[in-house]
Amino acid sequence: MESIQTPDWVSDAIFYQIFPDRFAWSEQVTKPSNLEPWDAPPTNHGFKGGDLLGIAERLDYLVDLGVTAIYLNPIFQSTANHRYHTYDYRQVDPILGGNKALRSLLDEAHRRGMRVILDGVFNHASRGFFQFNDIVENGPASPYLDWFYVKHFPLRPYHAPKGKHGYEAWWNLPALPKLKVSTPAVREFLLDIATTWIEYGADGWRLDVPAEIDDDLFWQEFRCRVKAANPEAYIVGEIWHEARRWLQGDQFDAVMNYPVTRACLGFFIGDNLARDQVAKSGYHQIDTLDAAGFRREIECQLALYPRPITEVQFNLLGSHDTPRFKTLARGDHSACRLATLFQMTYPGAPCIYYGDEIGMEGNHDPDCRRGFPWDKHRWDRELWELVRQCIVLRKAHPALRRGDFVWLLAEHGVVAYLRRLGSEALLIVLNSTPAPLTLDLPVEGHLAEGARLREWWTGAPMRVQGNRLPAVRIPARSGAVFVAEKEPGP
């Protein structure tokens, strides 16, 4: 295997996922009249009118939080508020402001040193997609017959009994006809779309259900085309499970790291997990983990992939496809704090789902896609500040982004690990128990006798004695970060 190359900037990135219809509204974008009230509970089909210029106008908020990269859910023309039903891959949806609005957003983001990756829906299109509509209208005579998996005529894209619509569709949903990627014309169409938007200025692709395109050669060519347009473009696939097939250096740079998300839910929330919501979501089931079980899950993930892949994995605590983390934790603020501190001190690129930083809640979709409340009186300011400070911590210490990850302790509800890069070392301790604890942490072979450390939040000094960090006090359901002081040079 050749040396694996991943985009260098991703290891340093702090991502923020935005569902465009629900984040921000600009007065500069003309809107249709029949929109849902912004603060009303979201529905499956209703639009709230968020747009790309609204995002551009709120970039300073993201900069203040510490965000350096944005992942946008689909933005191309569609009849769905989530826009996974693509109508026209070459046009940004008019409700979002059209192509000009994307141009403005990219320019404003890049001016601030921020990257923007787009959501690529290449497995399926929509009933309104021109080539599919041509088959509906012309039947066997359509020149685009081989663009889709047609089973029988007439096609019945509306009001057909389940499974009787006459063509293959994603999850057998007639609104999502599956593209036949083995057809050369389809293949070239999708590859052209991929490169077109990278050349336009997008910084990468998040790929929707890419495993459904069971074709390594397609994804290898996809990578070649995208990287030719921009060698630093980031390609991250939506794979919910072990993904070594796609992470050999010839297809994706990373995947959405849901196995780590699951481990965080199982350990930091544990028995308090809202299992009724888990069962309705893509998680289906999540087991409670003790400290040793959490360590095993994390060790498994760290061992799966080469280090260049691990350091750019897309690490998330929730997304548009899952109930909100705080909701799954039944409102437990401590679980949010612990999980965030772990996320920001773990290898890979952390991603914040819009609103999680201010304590937004929501059950399984569409409820997890509520309008962002811009009234700061409705924010959890304590959580926002914690997220911001965790980002400051991560940015301040390269060891948290590119350093080794070493377990020190995982027992009795407590995990402790070391992040080290050269002479820089940080020790992170997370107490998931409902009681304050005082610990002697073993550091033999990792920190020298007499080494001095300082707790990052409080400034409290510590010193290694007898190959241990003695009397480490961790409040209930809380964490601490100890930064080793560098020894003075000769």
DSSP for 303-356?
Answer: HHS-HHHHTT-EEES--TTS--HHHHTTT-HHHHHHHHHHHHTSSSEEEEETTG
DSSP 370: P
Tell me the two tokens of residue 445.
């072979």
Question: Could you tell me the pLDDT band of residue 487, with boundaries at 50, 70 and 90?
Answer: low
pLDDT of 109 > 60? The answer is yes
pLDDT of 450 > 70? The answer is yes
* pLDDT number for residue 163: 86
Reported as a single tens digit per residue, the pLDDT across 287-326 is 999 999 999 999 999 999 999 999 999 999 999 999 999 9
Question: Could you tell me the pLDDT band of residue 139, with boundaries at 50, 70 and 90?
Answer: very high
pLDDT of 488 > 90? The answer is no
Tell me the two tokens of residue 235.
């390609």
DSSP 208: S
* pLDDT number for residue 335: 98
Query: Residues with catalytic annotation?
Result: 208, 238
- Angle CA 345–303–430, to nearest 5: 30
Reported as a single tens digit per residue, the pLDDT across 393-443 is 999 999 999 999 999 999 999 999 999 999 999 999 999 999 999 999 999
Reported as a single tens digit per residue, the pLDDT across 52-96 is 999 999 999 999 999 999 999 999 999 999 999 999 999 999 999
* pLDDT number for residue 2: 58
* pLDDT number for residue 490: 46
DSSP 178: B
Reported as a single tens digit per residue, the pLDDT across 32-43 is 999 999 999 999
Q: What are phi and psi of 282, to 5 degrees?
A: -65, -15
Average of per-residue pLDDT values in the chain:
97
Question: Could you tell me the pLDDT band of residue 1, with boundaries at 50, 70 and 90?
Answer: very low
Please list, in sequence order, all residues whose beta carbon lies within 8 angstroms of the beta carbon of residue 239, skipping any fewer than 6 positions away.
Answer: 210, 211, 246, 255, 256
Question: For the residues of 152-181, what is the DSSP string, one character each?
Answer: SSS---SSPPTT-SSB-BGGG-TTSBBB-T
d(CA 346, CA 299): 12
Taking 3-state DSSP, the helix, strand and coil percentages for the chain, each rounded to the nearest 5, stand at: 35, 20, 45
d(CA 226, CA 205): 9
CB 433 within 8 A of CB 413: yes
Strand duo 115-120 + 254-255: pairing: unpaired
Reported as a single tens digit per residue, the pLDDT across 223-268 is 999 999 999 999 999 999 999 999 999 999 999 999 999 999 999 9
